Structure formats: structure tokens, C-alpha cells
Amino acid sequence: MPKSASSLKHTHLVSRAVDWLRHEYRCGIILSEQYCATGEIPDAIGWKGLNRSVVIECKVSRSDFLADATKPFRLKPEEGLGCERFYLAPGGVIGLEELPPSWGLLEYAKKNILVSRKAARKDLRSAIGLMKEMNLLLASLHRVEVRIEPQTITEFLKWKNRLADYNGGVLPVGLAHKEDNPHLLASDFIG
């Protein structure tokens, strides 16, 4: 039996949103509940293809959903994050008629996420939203760099160079030379 709206934890919905973005929506980069100076803290945001962002806001109750509508970036949706935007809630918590224009609805029932309404394929993200996403990504990269000190993030990302140095100047046998990264050009690969 599915968890009721009252017993379902927000952290569980966020975890399911991240899984859905990764496995069902095929996002390559995903962040969850990351704060930055812009004020919007998306429960889950993923990027797919070449810079197409998808935001999922998780709501465990009607009051949580209704409170979301009063946030500054909901009152001015052109300042919000996400080319595509979804709410994720237990089934029956949010009515389709209550959704903001172009938002999709994902419903959690029986340990599954069902797409009750797809988000519009148009780009809801404005130039302001793009800059806020950039700020979110930069804040997240800075958190990584602080944790890998004394290395810089650039040194850390040159992992193949470090492996080759460790292995006498040659990459280990069987290591793929090509990274599965749509943000790199073919000429960027070590070969």
C-alpha cells in the first residue's frame, strides 16, 4: 500500500525525483536541494542534451503545494529555474487544474512515479533563469573544490592524466579513452 501524503517524507520524494530524472528522463547532471544566492532551492534539477534543464518540486501535502505558489520565483515565473518544470506529489494531492501554465505533474503511487501531465516542451527558462542556473552550478562546483583541496578542481578533473602518471605514462589497459559527455567536442577526448 502506498504511503499516505501525511506519512510520506519529503526526502523520500526528492530521492525518487532524482532517480526519475536520471533513469526515466535521462538527465546527465542532477543536483538536489542545493542552495545558492538566487534564493530558489530546487528539490531536484537535472540537465540533459545541450543545456536543457528540468526542475522537479516535491510536495508531500496540499498546504506545501499551496505555500509554494507564494514564493517570489513562482509569482514571477520568468525568474524561475528550468526549461521544463514539474511538481511531484502523492496521487490526488494536486489537481491538474491547479498547475501553473506549462507545468507537468508527476504522481507518486505504489512506489512508482506516474506522469499525470507532461511539462510543456517550450522553454520556460528566461535569460534571468539561465543566469540563476549558472549561479547554482558555480556554487555547487565551489563546494566540490573546497572538499578536494589542496587540489584545484581543474587538477581533479584531469583524472586520466593522473592515472597515466601513476601508471608510468600509459593509461591502464581497458580504460575507455572516450568520455560519455555530451558537453565535450570529439576533439576534447584524450586518445
Residue 46 CB neighbour total at 10 angstroms: 25
Q: 3-state SS of the chain?
A: CCCCCCCCCHHHHHHHHHHHHHHHCCCCEEECCCCCCCCCCCCEEEEECCCEEEEEEECCCHHHHHHHCCCHHHHCHHHCCCCEEEEEEECCCCCHHHCCCCCEEEEEECCEEEEEECCCCCCCCCHHHHHHHHHHHHHHHHHHHHHCCCCCHHHHHCHHHHHHHHCCCCCCCCCCCCCCCCCCCHHHCCC
Per-residue pLDDT of 87-110, as tens digits, reads 999 999 999 999 999 999 999 999
* Average of per-residue pLDDT across 134-159: 82
The confidence score (pLDDT) of residue 37 equals 83
d(CA 88, CA 119): 12
Architecture of domain 10-126: 3-Layer(aba) Sandwich (3.40)
- Banded pLDDT at 3 (limits 50, 70, 90): very low
Given a cut of 70, whether residue 45 has pLDDT beyond it is yes
- Structural domain boundaries in the chain: 10-126, 128-188
d(CA 93, CA 96): 10
Q: Which residue has the higher pLDDT, 163 or 12?
A: 12
- Banded pLDDT at 8 (limits 50, 70, 90): confident
The confidence score (pLDDT) of residue 183 equals 64
pTM, entire model: 0.82
Mean pLDDT is lowest, of 105-109, 123-127, 135-139, 165-169, for: 165-169
